[in-house]
Amino acid sequence: MTLQEHLLELRNRLVYSGIAIAVGFIIGLFFCFRMLNLIERLSGVGRLQVLAPTESFVTTMKVALYIGIGIAMPVLIYQIVRFLAPGLTRNEKRYLYRAIPFVFGMFVLGVLFAFFIVIPRGLKFLHGFGSGTYDANFRASEVVSFYMTLLLWIGIVFELPIVMYLLAKLHIMTVQMMGSVRKYAIILIMIAAAIITPTPDPFNMFLVAAPMYLLYEFGILLARVA
């Protein structure tokens, strides 16, 4: 493909992705208040505060957009793969297309783990920290941004086994290579957990790091199968 053909292909993929997000956003408008109520109930921080006239509207639209992106995620992943496909061999395309459902499934699993386990515990810790001195009334916009940032990163981390499987299947890395860097992987996992974890206490950091290490070992197992 020429440069112009690549740019046209990119434009088409972006248009399809934009349409999928727009449709998801419209669907998200019907569920955004339910999502906000669920966040409020799970986090245990009480009523979410708004401090600006437009904050409630903007925050609600932001939640609807995030829901829309989540609904459109299978289409987005497919469009990324289709854009990369012209540069891949027939075998590489086959492996990549087969991996799409598993990539999406692991992302969803990571999002659910973060939404129901990691983030509520983190927010409860932050809400109770210094309760004798501070009166914690969290802003709705900050809580939503807090949720969405962690949902994104933990969802991405849960895709690690599929990535390791593909690296082995495409002969980019071997099982021996993955096993030999295990000690460095543990250090990187602890650093990543410290960055991702919303609180400084070791319990919540361990709550993120332990699944990450198990995912790494599961990735090595999948690479061995590959």
Comparing CA positions, the residue from 72, 63, 150, 154 lying closest to residue 106 is 154
Q: For 174-197, what is each residue's pLDDT tens digit?
A: 888 888 888 888 898 888 888 877
Q: What is the pTM of this model?
A: 0.77
One-letter amino acid of 214? L
Residue 26, both tokens: 């419209």
Distance separating alpha carbons of residues 66 and 59, to the nearest angstrom: 11
> Which pLDDT score, from 0 to 100, does residue 131 have?
67
Whether residue 50 is predicted with pLDDT greater than 70 in this model: the reply is yes
Report helix angle 140-157 to 90-113, nearest 10: 140
Q: What is the mean pLDDT of residues 188-212?
A: 78
